[in-house]
Amino acid sequence: MKKSPTLDRAPLSAPDLLCTSQLTADDIERLFATTRILKAARDAHDETLKHKRLAMIFEKDSLRTRFTFDIGMQDLGGSVVFMDHRDARLGSRESVKDVAKNLERWVDAIVARTFKHKVLEELAQHAEIPVINGLSDFVHPCQALADFFTLTEKWGSVRGRTLTFVGDGNNTCHALIHTAVKLGTNIRVCSPEGYEPNARVVNEAMRAAAATGAEVTILNDPDAAVEGAHAIYTDVWASMGQEDEIEERNGVFAAYQVDEDLMAHAEKDALFLHCLPAHRGWEVTQEVMDGPQSIVYDIAENRLHVQKAVLTHLIR
């Protein structure tokens, strides 16, 4: 029987994963190399994190993040404790610091999905164990890593390719920008005026792009933004916590729907990406979502494998 490759569990540049801006290009490539090994031989490394424990603290609903971290930790031989904080946000019952200092005595890592990114930063500041961002209002790093890993599966290399994000300059958009420039991918973001990504994120990315030759472009015209692009990405127009803005946003973003006409402006074989959940008929049409260019379910599957790699490199 062929022996599975040995895992390189070298530490990443940062002890936590709050944002992919913390990672170097080498970190990301190392994560992707580990992901490929784990995906190819799911049961071959089932003792990698034996006797290790993961705490998951979620203030928001979750399907992909919760299932993939839970299953991933089990696949690696560890165990998971889930804390539902949807009714009482972190810091309301006891301080974030005290939560961190308690959990570090019992578990080996924390995955947290929070409304406020500063809560994650506070957890990481006080916990002597890795803290992983399962999504915050600012950035969604695990999603972007799965997105770009999937693109490497399709293309081989993402360097020099162009990815266009159409929609709200939200947490997923921020993560894509940070990750794209690390890997030398040109990133265009097309949003209605007033809904562009955070200026600090864009400026940081532009500085990082100077080292890789990537381009960061912010536009308001969808047709121009997707012209010649190799991949088109969209997300919901109203994120969790913005439910009271749905009606207003549906009107503002109506011209930013990804449909077959918009896809036709991109490269002929351009891929379609969405982080899910998707609202068919709003940000994307049924035809594009379920069409041959869509790789949304490949990405969803790869959330499991990429996050197993994250756990493998962060938990000691």
In our burial notation (b when 16+ CB lie closer than 10 A, e otherwise), range 51-69 reads ebbbbbbbbbebebbbebb
Q: Is 303 a catalytic residue?
A: yes
C-beta of residue 299 within 8 angstroms of C-beta of residue 259: no
Task: Calculate ∠ Cα 154-158-159, nearest 5°.
Answer: 155
Residues 6+ apart with CB under 8 A from 266: 164, 226, 227, 228, 229, 230, 231, 232
State the total domains in the chain: 2
The helix (run of H) or strand (run of E) holding residue 53 is strand 53-58
Q: Are residues 254 and 135 in the same domain?
A: no
Catalytic residue list contains 307: no
Residue ranges with strand state E in 94-248: 109-113, 131-135, 162-166, 186-190, 216-219, 231-234
The whole-angstrom separation of Cα 271 and Cα 263 is 9
If asked whether residues 87 and 43 sit together in one domain, one would say: yes
Asked whether the predicted pLDDT for residue 4 surpasses 80, the reply is no
172: pLDDT confidence band, cut at 50, 70 and 90? Answer: very high
Are residues 168 and 135 part of one domain?
Answer: no
CA distances from 28 to 12, 39, 80 (A): 9, 16, 25
Does the pLDDT at position 3 exceed 70? no
pLDDT at 6: 86
Q: Which residues lie below 8 Å from residue 83, measured CB to CB, with a gap of 6+? A: 55, 56, 57, 58
pLDDT at 1 over 50: no
Span 68-77, mean pLDDT?
A: 98
Residue 131 located in a structural domain: yes
Task: Give Rg (Cα) of the chain.
Answer: 19
Instruction: Give 2's pLDDT tier (boundaries 50, 70, 90).
Output: low
Query: pLDDT (tens digit, 9 = 90+) per residue, 148-162?
Result: 999 999 999 999 999
The three-point CA angle 62-299-306 to 5° equals 80
Please report which confidence band the pLDDT of residue 239 belongs to, taking 50, 70 and 90 as the band edges: confident
Task: Examine residue 224 and state whether it is found in any structural domain, yes or no.
Answer: yes
Q: Is the pLDDT of residue 213 over 80?
A: yes
Which candidate in 45, 70, 275, 307 is catalytic? 275
Average pLDDT of the residues in 163-168: 98
223, 132: one domain: no
- Work out the mean pLDDT of the chain and round it to a whole number: 96
Active site residue 275: yes
Examine the domain organization and report whether 206 and 269 are in the same domain: yes
Phi-psi region of 161 (alpha: psi -120 to 50; beta: other; left: phi over 0): beta
1 in any annotated domain: no
Q: Is residue 150 part of a domain?
A: yes
When mean pLDDT is compared across 88-102, 106-120, 129-143, 298-312, the lowest value belongs to 88-102
CA distances in angstroms from 274 to 147, 166, 188, listed in the order given: 9, 10, 15
Considering the domain architecture, whether residues 243 and 266 belong to the same structural domain is answered as: yes
Pick the residue with more confidence: 89 or 304?
Answer: 304
Give the residue carrying structure tokens 């293309």: 155
**Is residue 269 packed enough to be buried (19+ CB in 10 Å), middle (13-18) or exposed (0-12)?**
exposed
In a domain, 3, yes or no: no
- Active-site annotation holds for 113: yes
Whether residue 11 lies inside any domain: the answer is no
Active site residue: 113, 117, 249, 305, which one?
113
pLDDT at 118 over 80: yes
Of 174, 188, 274, 303, which one is the catalytic site residue?
Answer: 303
> Is 190 considered catalytic here?
no
Question: pLDDT tens across 245-275, in order?
Answer: 888 999 999 999 999 999 999 999 999 999 9
Q: Are residues 207 and 108 in the same domain?
A: no
Distance CA 211, CA 183 (A): 10
Same domain, 151 and 258: yes
**CATH code of residue 217:** 3.40.50.1370
pTM over 0.95: yes
Whole-angstrom Cα distance, residue 167 to residue 220?
Answer: 10
**For tokens 């992919």, what's the residue?**
20
Residue 171 tokens read as 């947490």
Range of the domain at 199: 142-299
- 193 in the same domain as 120: no
The verdict on residue 165 lying in a domain is: yes
Q: Does residue 259 carry a catalytic annotation?
A: no
Of all residues in the chain, what percent carry a pLDDT higher than 70? 99
The confidence band for 238, taking pLDDT boundaries of 50, 70 and 90, is: confident
Q: Are residues 255 and 163 in the same domain?
A: yes
- Do 203 and 112 have their domain in common? no
* pLDDT confidence band for 226 (50 / 70 / 90): very high
Active-site residue, from 70, 75, 147, 235: 235
- pLDDT recorded at residue 84: 93
- The answer to whether residues 122 and 164 belong to one domain is no
Cβ contacts of 28 within 8 Å, gap of 6 or more: 20, 145, 148, 179, 182, 183
Does the pLDDT value for residue 91 go beyond 50?
yes
Order of all β-strands in the sheet with 53-58: 79-84, 53-58, 109-113, 131-135
Q: Which of 16, 85, 117, 143 is catalytic?
A: 143
Q: What are phi and psi of 229, to 5 degrees?
A: -70, 150
Structure tokens at 3: 């022996």
Is 236 inside a domain boundary?
Answer: yes
d(CA 307, CA 142): 7
User: For 22-49, what is each residue's pLDDT tens digit?
Assistant: 999 999 999 999 999 999 998 889 999 9
